Amino acid sequence: MEKFRISGGRPLRGRIGISGAKNSALPCMAASLLTPETVTLHNIPYVRDIITQRRLLEDLGSTVLTPELRTNKITASNIELFEAPYELVKTMRASVLALGPLLARFGKAKVSLPGGCAIGTRPIDLHLTAFQALGAEVSLEAGDVVARAPSGGRLRGSEVRFDKVTVTGTENLMMAAALAVGTTKLHNAAREPEITDLAELLNKMGARVRGAGTPTITIEGVEALGGAEHTIIPDRIETGTFLVAAAITKGELEIYNCRPEHLAIVIAKLREVGVLIEEVNQSTLRVSCCPKGLTARDVETEPHPRFPTDMQAQYMALMTQAEGKSVITETIFENRFMHASEMQRMGARIQIEAHRATVEGATVLTGARVQASDLRASASLVLAGLAAEGETIIDRVYHIDRGYEKIEDKLRSVGAEIERLRDSITTPLNAPEQAVAAEIA
Ligand code: UD1
């Protein structure tokens, strides 16, 4: 199992470029299943989840060409299989994004039901109820969700009200409704920038999607979609993570190829705690820390445009370095504080009560051996390690490879002392993980 070794206490200085957003690339890749023509996507990040998604598309029968490292040309003209198997869904929950496009174009789809994951139970009931509203028959067969379009093979446009805001649920339904007969209205839709990015791609393919980025999205179904070319937006969570990296190491970074308006609330919160952030231009931020030190401030995670759950762990790392008490409330996932106990091992003072964490700062963190439990938790431990005195070893960094492109190279280029250790004793990975690990190595 690979590890990171970090020698902390070095201020980061220099420039870091932001990669494409994984959470936008995944649904855009799935959208290629809606057409037999070629969909060309640029600015695809080179991370493990993308390789998994590519494998899924290829298993289904798509051809994926990579004329350049970050460009995928995907053609789904020969789809022979209509299912996302358990091995892939358990490695990456976003495989469920195949469901909407397959159901819409071929009238049938089977996806293994995702189980729990490290951050809690993550059902897809809202996706399924919404497909039923569009006329699909949905059944559970031996752990798989099997969905069929009504007779005639096409879904029917309908009113859908999500009981809870769901990002991949909104994306799945936008894709399904794009080829339905009639108009679909999605109420209480997610408003994340990744939703707007997918809508843009769908519209380039000939879909009629309006209102993406607002709570009500209207999709007028069309008979067929065509090929398109699209550039994926920059990753707002990677941007936020590097903003915190500069602040927590008392360094100064210029972060380019980003979209500051996609993380307005994160920037506002960081400014509130004392981080200096300057918008150099529409795609560049300069961040430095902090003439008067950091002041603790509470935060609550909520759907976009409020504070993202995907920045909660990194914010907690920062709060260990802020003066005073901060209360961090997690409202999206029930079990997303696993990084807290690892930070405690580094000397952080954190108390967890249900979905609330109270951090008392500022503490001097000291290097320790810690374990990553999920993607964003791993990022927060890297940040804590960069701020800590001495050496931190982070185990199970395959989690971070799912969503951050070469994070250790980017951090090293701005002065961090971080290296990847390859172990001789490895915990066995399952087959798709092994394939992906081999490809990313
Ligand atoms: C997406 C992001 C993930 C981010 C999350 C919340 C991708 C690939 N992943 O995940 O990085 O942390 O949004 O911003 O884009 N829920 C249900 N039933 C459902 C669907 C969701 O109860 O059918 C619940 C979930 O358990 C969770 C909440 O709704 O409590 C939000 O989940 P959702 O927005 O669906 O998260 P994902 O789309 O899986």
**What confidence tens digit (pLDDT) does each residue in 238-279 have?**
999 999 999 999 999 999 999 999 999 999 999 999 999 999
The confidence band for 437, taking pLDDT boundaries of 50, 70 and 90, is low
Dihedral angle, C-alpha 7, 384, 261, 323, nearest 10 °: -120
Mean pLDDT (whole number) for 210-215: 98
Report pLDDT digits (tens) over 21-56. 999 999 999 999 999 999 999 999 999 999 999 999
> Residue 87: its pLDDT value, please?
84
Pick from 181, 215, 231: which residue ends a domain?
A: 231
CATH of the domain at 198: 3.65.10.10
Q: Which of 164, 238, 265 to mutate to test the pocket of ligand 1 (most atoms within 8 A of CB)?
A: 164
Average pLDDT over the chain, rounded to an integer: 93
| 243 and 218 co-located in one domain | no
The confidence band for 215, taking pLDDT boundaries of 50, 70 and 90, is very high
Report pLDDT digits (tens) over 140-161. 888 889 999 998 899 999 999 9
> Residue 119: its pLDDT value, please?
55
> Residue 435: its pLDDT value, please?
54
| 151 and 187 co-located in one domain | yes
When divided into structural domains, the chain yields a total of: 2
What are the pocket residues of ligand 1 if the criterion is a CB atom closer than 6 Å to any ligand atom? 23, 26, 93-94, 122-127, 164, 166-169, 194, 308-310, 332-333
| 193 and 266 co-located in one domain | no
Ligand 1 atom with the smallest distance to the CA of 127 is 23
Distance CA 53, CA 55 (A): 5
| 34 and 146 co-located in one domain | yes
| 206 and 267 co-located in one domain | no
In 3-state terms, what secondary structure has residue 110? strand
In 3-state terms, what secondary structure has residue 202? helix
CA atoms within a 13 Å half-sphere pointing along the CA-CB vector of 127: 29
> Residue 427: its pLDDT value, please?
45
Residues 6+ apart with CB under 8 A from 246: 12, 252, 253, 275, 287, 288, 289
Instruction: Report percent pLDDT > 90 for the chain.
Output: 85
Distance CA 320, CA 316 (A): 7
Report pLDDT digits (tens) over 324-348. 999 999 999 988 999 999 999 999 9
Pick from 231, 248, 282: which residue ends a domain?
A: 231
Distance CA 27, CA 19 (A): 16
| 72 and 135 co-located in one domain | yes
Report pLDDT digits (tens) over 69-116. 899 999 999 998 999 888 888 888 899 999 999 999 999 999 988 755
The residue type of 333 is F
Q: Answer whether 14's CB lies under 8 Å from 415's CB.
A: yes
Cis, peptide link before residue 431, omega less than 30° from 0: no
Q: Answer whether 96's CB lies under 8 Å from 168's CB.
A: yes
The confidence band for 65, taking pLDDT boundaries of 50, 70 and 90, is very high
| 240 and 153 co-located in one domain | no
Whether 357 has a pLDDT exceeding 70, the answer reads yes
Ligand 1 atom with the smallest distance to the CA of 94 is 8
Chain centre distance of CA 313: 14
Pick from 173, 197, 231: which residue ends a domain?
A: 231
Report pLDDT digits (tens) over 389-431. 999 999 999 999 999 999 999 999 999 999 999 865 444 455 5
| 316 and 286 co-located in one domain | yes
| 331 and 419 co-located in one domain | yes
Q: Which of 332, 374, 380 to mutate to test the pocket of ligand 1 (most atoms within 8 A of CB)?
A: 332
Distance CA 146, CA 128 (A): 10
| 212 and 255 co-located in one domain | no
Pairing of strands 391-395, 369-371: parallel
| 44 and 94 co-located in one domain | yes
- Residue carrying the six token digits 């964003």: 376
Task: Give the DSSP per-residue string, 131-149.
Answer: HHHTT-EEEEETTEEEEEP
Q: Answer whether 333's CB lies under 8 Å from 120's CB.
A: yes
Cis, peptide link before residue 234, omega less than 30° from 0: no
| 114 and 154 co-located in one domain | yes
Distance CA 372, CA 339 (A): 7
In this structure, the residue with its CA closest to atom 3 of ligand 1 is 310
Distance CA 129, CA 136 (A): 9
The confidence band for 441, taking pLDDT boundaries of 50, 70 and 90, is very low
The confidence band for 434, taking pLDDT boundaries of 50, 70 and 90, is low
Domain of residue 170 covers 22-231
